[in-house]
Amino acid sequence: MSVTRRNFLVGSSLSVAAGALTPLLAHAEQTKTTPARYDDWGAVRREFDLAPDYTHLGLFYLTSHPRPVREAIERYRRQLDANPFVTVESSLFESPEKNMPLKTCSAIANYIGGDAQDIALTQNTTTGLSLIYHGLPLREGDEVLTTAHDHYVHHESIKLATSRCGATCRKIPLFESFSSISSDEIVDRIRKGIGAKTRVVGVTWVHSASGLRLPIRRIGDVIAEVNGGRDEKDRVLLIVDGVHGIGVEDPKIVAMGCDAFAAGTHKWIFGPRGTGFVWAKPAVWAKMRPLIPTFYANEVFEAWGEEKEPDNPPRAAWFSPGGFQAFEHHWALPEALHFHESIGPSRITTRIHELNHRMKEGLARMPHVQLYTPRDENLSAGMACFDVKGMKPGEVVSRLLEQKIIASTTPYRVSYARLSCGIVNTSDEVEKTLGAIRRLA
């Protein structure tokens, strides 16, 4: 008999205990709250326990859990508190029908238009990018091409991975001036930036530095053209940090043309805090090397028990970090995705763009404000980054907070003040915020 996680740990005795727990698990599924109707945005806002006297323009940073997510977390927490051993064993190592990580991957796959077998579960974007870059089979002399505008964790993930194998990293600017950004220029600069040694292009879908949204599909097409003339071992992969795009834009990221995609789900998706995922093409997973032991791929555990290498190439589940975690948060993630689907992803996209367009246009009309986020809706998403003349970004944020308007600063070498309208916000809040900034003159 092969050594499986299940029979190695507990043998047949768990079957009796798991059977006893089955009614509790089934009851939890049956007691899910009937989905609410979200015909108006006021109904959406009421699902959040946000302080009502504040204007919340920073939820892209870390979410407030909506009611369906809070209730799901609490359901699973009660199960874990009632019987932690049997709950975890039954939920991780039982049949696929009872496997909670697989249910979570299936919900993500349905949302992004992919396959559950191609998804690894992570805790955040940082972990996801690290798993990708450290897992890639980079060789000495290979190059990772990225942009000068990416976030610290993207740059650092590349740096840490390339420094261990003798590969290099090169950063290029995507535009000369915020006033002249265009999709054509962005795509052309990436095309020209790819060299003979380039094996990876790492980009960010929506930049938290400026609110710029990249044309990922067009970038993917350019890389496909480059790969058309290369051997398989020299092909270029497109890696995307998608955390500020998913939950805002069309969620079908599998159709975007990238090879791997990492995102936390505790921002725009309103998922449980400490949850995220990586999607990659099966052929990409197969070439990669896992970084952290997993609990989610039994064949790896069996190979360890038999003191041999696994028979099959790596797949996504091998890359989901194992160990004991906040299981109730990971298992409740499908509720956040169902929440989005109940509202309607296209409605969400339209609403976020409407509010942020109104904010950008209002800022652009103020003579004492410099707007950095493109006004073109094809090049922006859910943020507006700006300066108030004569004031540092931190001072702008502090002055707004005095009026209970929550803004933020961009955490980059050159920092700006930043506002972000989401589905919990209203047109009145946009006007209130614009009025407060107008008075800063």
Q: What does the alpha-carbon distance between residue 203 and residue 169 come to, in Å, rounded to a whole number?
A: 13
Assess contact for 242 and 262: CB atoms under 8 A. Answer: yes
CA–CA separation, 93 vs 102, rounded Å?
A: 11
pLDDT band at 192 (very low <50, low <70, confident <90, very high): very high
| pLDDT-derived band at 93, boundaries 50, 70, 90 | confident
CA distance 82 to 347: 40
Give the pLDDT of residue 403.
98
| pLDDT of 68 over the 50 cut | yes
d(CA 294, CA 209): 34
Q: Is pLDDT above 60 for 371?
A: yes
Domain ranges of the chain: 106-341, 345-439
Residue 3: is it exposed, middle or buried by C-beta count within 10 angstroms (0-12/13-18/19+)?
middle
Helical H runs in 98-151? 100-112, 125-135
Which residues 6+ apart lie within 8 Å of 322 measured at CB? 292, 293, 294, 295, 296
Ranges of H-type helices in 61-124: 67-82, 84-93, 100-112
| pLDDT of the residue at 16 | 40
Q: Give the pLDDT score at 386.
A: 98
The pLDDT value recorded for residue 152 is 97
Q: Would the pLDDT of 67 be above 90?
A: yes
pLDDT at residue 34 above 60?
A: no
d(CA 265, CA 268): 7
292: burial class by Cβ within 10 Å (0-12, 13-18, 19+)? middle
Question: Of the candidates 177, 216, 170, which has an alpha carbon nearest to the alpha carbon of residue 194?
Answer: 170
Question: Is 70 exceeded by the pLDDT of residue 2?
Answer: no
User: Does 390 score more than 90 pLDDT?
Assistant: yes
Contacts of 64 (CB under 8 A, 6+ apart): 48, 49, 50, 56, 270, 424
Query: How crowded is the C-beta side of 106, counted as CA atoms within 13 Å?
Result: 9
The arithmetic mean of pLDDT across residues 295-317, rounded, is 95
Residues 305, 293: Cα–Cα separation, whole Å: 14
Going by DSSP bridges, is the β-strand pair 408-409/417-419 parallel, antiparallel, or unpaired? antiparallel
pLDDT of 138 higher than 60: yes
First to last CA, the chain: 76
pLDDT at 229: 87
pLDDT in the model for residue 32: 52
Q: For the residues 327-353, what does the mean pLDDT come to?
A: 97
pLDDT of residue 37: 83
Cα–Cα dist 240/253, whole Å = 10
> Is a pLDDT exceeding 70 seen at residue 214?
yes
Least confident stretch, 16-20, 114-118, 231-235 = 16-20
3-state SS, residue 26: helix
Lowest mean pLDDT among 34-43, 179-188, 210-219, 430-439: 34-43
Mean model confidence pLDDT for the chain: 93
In this predicted structure, the answer to whether residue 42 has a pLDDT above a threshold of 50 is yes
Residue 173 has pLDDT above 90, yes or no: yes
| 245-276 pLDDT, tens digit each | 999 999 999 999 999 999 999 999 999 999 99
Distances (CA, A) of 6 to 89, 170, 172, 294, 296: 8, 46, 49, 14, 12
pTM value is: 0.93
- The mean pLDDT value for 271-293 works out to 97
- Comparing CA positions, the residue from 2, 430, 142 lying closest to residue 438 is 430
Secondary structure (3-state) at 424: coil
pLDDT above 90 coverage of the chain, percent = 90
Task: Please answer whether residues 388 and 409 qualify as being in contact, where contact means their C-beta atoms are separated by less than 8 angstroms.
Answer: no
Buried b vs exposed e over 214-247: b needs ≥16 C-beta within 10 Å?
A: bbbebbbebbeebbeeeeeeeebbbbbbbbbbbb
Q: How far apart are CA 338 and CA 66, in angstroms?
A: 11
* Helix, strand, or coil (residue 154): helix
Lowest mean pLDDT among 25-34, 343-352, 358-367: 25-34
Q: What is the Cα gyration radius of the chain?
A: 23
Pairing relationship of beta strands 384-388 and 168-172 according to DSSP bridges:
unpaired
Q: According to the model, what pLDDT value does residue 97 have?
A: 81
Residue 18 pLDDT class (50, 70, 90 cuts): very low
Name the pLDDT band for 35 (thresholds 50, 70, 90): low
Mean pLDDT computed over 99-127: 97
CATH of domain 106-341: 3.40.640.10
Q: What is the pLDDT averaged over residues 180-201?
A: 97
Choose among 359, 377, 352, 362: nearest CA to 44: 352
Question: Quick check: 395 pLDDT over 80?
Answer: yes
> Which pair of tokens denotes residue 247?
């939950």
Statement: residue 83 has pLDDT above 50:
yes
CA distance 261 to 213: 15
Overall CATH class of domain 345-439: alpha beta
* pLDDT value of position 3: 43
